[in-house]
Chain A
Amino acid sequence: MGSYLKTVIQNLLKGPSTDPYPFGKTFEPKGLRGKIRFNSQACVACRTCEHVCAGNAIRIKEAEDKSGLHFVVWHNTCAFCGLCEHYCPTKAIRMTADYHTAHSQAEKYNYVEQGFIKYVPCSCCGKPMIPVAAELLALAYKETANVEFLAQLCERCRPGNRLRKEE
């Protein structure tokens, strides 16, 4: 009986345990997966994220004028599982800690994260190609110097004679 009263008094002194949200601050656990943030500069359009997406929320489509690729994540079918972030080789996709997802019905189909990956011409043959991100070069060539000219070549011009000429 005594111990029980002691606990009651202790809890009374502690004050309410209710989370004050939305009137006050709330807590965020470490590693909380919220809405996706997309960095089109680092994206190499490998489409791994599109492939692993559980909710089929990611779409990468070529623009109608063939000038680049549209990247769209529809948050209304994204399960926030983080697979895209995990498999993204250049970490162009990042999960933010933004969990505030409530929105009205009117915004339903505009509730997206978008990005545009603009094609650049190949410095050798001139065909439009997806720009090679610096993150990918660092991943593929580690600390090998002088790969900038490689990054300006499309995948057909990169191997073979081109390389030997530059050396």
Chain B
Amino acid sequence: MKNALKKIAIQSPWLYRINTGSCNGCDVELATTALIPRFDVERFGCKYCGSPKHADIVLVTGPLTDKMRDKVLHVYHEIPEPKVVVAVGICPISGGVFRDSYAIKEPLDAYIPVDVNVPGCPPRPQAIIDGIVKAVEIWKSKL
């Protein structure tokens, strides 16, 4: 029964987006990969959901500003296990061009275990699709 459910679940990893102080560049690219038919991330069964309770794959954009940190952790802990975290853009990975700013203490992986990194400023939709495909594979192994 559990294996049968796994097989079904793998076909629909739901995506959830957390903006941790992003400039919206990566968010626009994420919207582009999903919401328009041209790149169409829904071919992999992905779907954006509005609630962290429904999420399987978490896409994080933005450099995790000091103001956002506690709120992001709060939302992150609401996401049920197993979850896969994808850092989209250079900001969550290292701080990017905002590194050493007074508003950014540490990159994302100091607080949250990240699984996949997709650097770029912003990454191309195709690169984000690569990252999501990688994340789906990791999610399969975690289930």
Residues of A at the B interface (CB closer than 8 Å) are 16-19, 21-22, 26, 54-56, 74-81, 99-105, 107-108, 111
**Beta-carbon nearest neighbor of A105 in chain B:** B114
Q: How many residues of B contact A (CB 8 A)?
A: 34
Interface residue? B54 (CB, 8 A):
no
Chain A's closest residue to B131 (CB) is A102
The answer to whether A79 and B90 touch across the interface, beta carbons within 8 angstroms, is: yes
> Across the interface, do B127 and A18 meet the contact criterion of CB distance under 8 Å?
no
Distance A100 CA – B130 CA, assembled complex (angstroms): 8
Given known A-B contacts A17-B37, A78-B119, A105-B115, A99 and B127 have beta carbons under 8 A apart: yes
Which residues 15-44 in B have Cβ within 8 Å of A in the complex?
Answer: 37-40, 43
Residue of B38, B99, B124 touching A77 (CB-CB under 8 A)? B99
Query: Are A22 and B90 within 8 A (Cβ)?
Result: no
CA distance A76 to B90 in the complex (A): 6
- Given the complex of chains A and B, what is the CA–CA distance between A80 and B121 in angstroms? 7
Q: Pick the contact of A76 from B94, B100, B116 — CB < 8 Å?
A: B94
Q: Contact: A99 with B95, CB < 8 Å? A: no
B131 to chain A, nearest CB (A): 4
Q: Are B129 and A22 in contact (CB under 8 A)?
A: yes
A-B pairs with lowest CB-CB distance, top 4: A79-B121, A102-B131, A102-B130, A77-B94
Provide the bound-state CA to CA distance between A16 and B43, in Å: 13
* A-side contacts of B109, CB under 8 Å: 105, 108
Contact of A102 among B38, B90, B94, B118 (CB under 8 A): B118
